[in-house]
A and B are shown apart, each in its own frame.
Chain A
Amino acid sequence: MSDSFGSTALRLDSASPPNDVMIKLEGLRKRYPGQSTDSVRPLDMEIRRGEFVVFVGPSGCGKTTTLRMINRLVEPTSGQIWIDGRDVTHTDPDELRRHIGYVIQQVGLIPHLTISQNVGLVPKLLGWDKKRIEPRVDELLDLVGLDPAQYRRRYPKQLSGGQQQRVGVARALAADPPVMVMDEPFGAIDPITRERLQDEFLKLQQRIRKTIVFVTHDIDEALKLGDRIAIFGESSQLAQFATPLEILSHPADDYVRSFVGTGAAIRRLGLLRVGDLEGAGGGAGAGPALRVPPETTVYAALEQMLDAGAARLAVDGEPGAERSLSLQEMLAAAARGRQVPS
């Protein structure tokens, strides 16, 4: 069993069809003992390999329950869970969990073990030998931005909340699991540190390409992090499961619209990149232009233009492929993006 999972991680790097399904939930339902209603009504969902999926929804709608059914910390009342093409609904849960990274809001580092021992926990459970665990721990601490020489030997209490959660992420990644489930991992962290952790985590994900299921009740966090966002209503009923841009451009119904809140059009500008805007190519127009790289978001570009009093934007590119856009053209192009959801 461990072999089939171990090879998963390898296959991840090799050429795999981009759209193959990593996590599949089929009619997944949960009713807690003694309750008269389902906390999760039958739910079907497919999550692709390497995809970052965020669950959002109001408190008590069943996000945590759904998430914890994926690693079977909550046993489903009915339905099936497939991971990488294998039905894991009835396999050994401990074995299953060793191959699914798990991060929770309270972190839950073991206080009497050192940071290094905490990070090395799953590899140890998997029977790796010491010589293999030690360099792996250092590598992971590095990966989450903690200097191993400085932090390896510390105890959890000697770290700040943000540092503890970095260790929590490192620990979840220790045995290179193909799947990670995260329950409000940045929920208890101050806003500034949270944003830094989000940015770093996004960068990290670009390198490691895990299949991630991430719970939050902060819609902005969801829009920022998710490749796709699942907006849950009561009892984990999917109100919409789509990309952030689609959700902002085409909310499925009033519930989604109200959940996303005001300013959807403005927030969309934070998701669009100036390089993707269609606009006049080449020629420089009237007025001073502000130069930005193509990956700048429209939101950031507008902000800089307002600051600089520039009426035109020059988008960097290959020599000869630079483009120049007027404020008018930018807004028109951004609005057009609305008609063609990706």
Chain B
Amino acid sequence: MEFLEYVSRNAQQIIFLTTQHVQVVLLSVAVAAVIGVSLGIATERAPRLRRLLLAFTGTLLTVPSFALFGLLIPVLGLGLAPTVVALTVYAIFPILRNTVTGLETVDPAVVEAARGMGMNSWGRLRTIRLPLAWPVILNGIRVSTIMVVAIAAIAAAVRGPGLGELIFRGLARIGGANALNQALAGVVGVVLVALVLDLLFVLARRLTTPRGLRV
């Protein structure tokens, strides 16, 4: 009950940080989606480069986030810039991976028939392959988003925006008044943000999956 009291007393700050958290996550994922989908499409005729990119972006995921944020300080300083860059770097891999998979799993007979009717490669991409790959790509974006919601909490280490601030502040003065409640508020906030975004993705998937695929 003490926790709820803490939350209600600090509601304004918590809401502000939550909003920031969501914003920085969505911004990073949006940038990553543009990069990931573009790379997935651009490397179609260069399978080696594509494998290389997948391996590279995949490896980046294994770099501990704390370390990556730290490494970016000398280049980008503190605050929003290193946060967005680091989160984007993490978010690229699932999106790129799913773009590749999505495009690969489009029924070749459909593409072949369209080619045989005189639809050029851009037309086939735009009217056939991307719409058919979209549910898979969207799933990649969803995975990235959920992952990055958690990582964004660490951004407070470089004075990034978001709920991480509550966690870091709380843990830094553990034992002090309301320290645990503060950290807990941050953690619960992160979990709730992840849950809500996940639900929104389920909805987005419903709304954007072409009707012919759902019948």
Known: A98-B117, A121-B119. A108 touches B213 (CB 8 A): no
Residue from A71, A114, A125 in contact with B212 in the complex, judged by beta carbons closer than 8 Å: A114
A156 on the B face (CB < 8 A): yes
B91 on the A face (CB < 8 A): no
Q: Is the CB of A156 within 8 A of B212?
A: yes
User: Residues of B within 8 Å of A, CB-based: how many?
Assistant: 23
Q: Is the CB of B113 within 8 A of A102?
A: yes
Interface residues of A in 45-93 (CB under 8 A from B): 71, 73, 93
How many pairs of residues, A versus B, come closer than 8 Å at their CB atoms?
A: 76
Kindly list chain A residues whose C-beta atoms are within 8 Å of the C-beta of B110: 108-111
Residue from B116, B120, B131 in contact with A104 in the complex, judged by beta carbons closer than 8 Å: B116
Kindly list chain A residues whose C-beta atoms are within 8 Å of the C-beta of B109: 104, 106-108
Q: Is the CB of A155 within 8 A of B118?
A: no
**How does the 8 Å CB contact mask read for A95-130 relative to B, with 1 for contact and 0 for none?**
111110010101111111110000001100100000
A171 on the B face (CB < 8 A): yes
What does DSSP make chain B's interface, helix, strand, loop or mixed?
helix
B52 on the A face (CB < 8 A): no
Interface residues of B in 180-215 (CB under 8 A from A): 210-213, 215
Docked pose: A113 CA to B111 CA in angstroms: 13
Docked pose: A168 CA to B116 CA in angstroms: 12
Kindly list chain B residues whose C-beta atoms are within 8 Å of the C-beta of A156: 212
B54 on the A face (CB < 8 A): no
Q: Is the CB of A111 within 8 A of B213?
A: yes
- Minimum CB distance partner of A172 in chain B: B117
A218 on the B face (CB < 8 A): no
Docked pose: A108 CA to B132 CA in angstroms: 13
Docked pose: A155 CA to B111 CA in angstroms: 17
Known: A73-B115, A104-B113, A157-B212. A110 touches B128 (CB 8 A): yes
| A156 smallest CB distance to B (angstroms) | 7
Q: Is the CB of B212 within 8 A of A112?
A: yes
Q: Is the CB of B112 within 8 A of A104?
A: yes
5 contacts between A and B (CB under 8 A): A94-B118, A106-B107, A108-B112, A111-B107, A155-B215
Given contacts A73-B115, A96-B118, 11 further A-B contacts (CB under 8 A): A106-B109, A108-B110, A110-B212, A112-B132, A112-B212, A112-B213, A113-B212, A122-B117, A122-B118, A157-B212, A168-B113
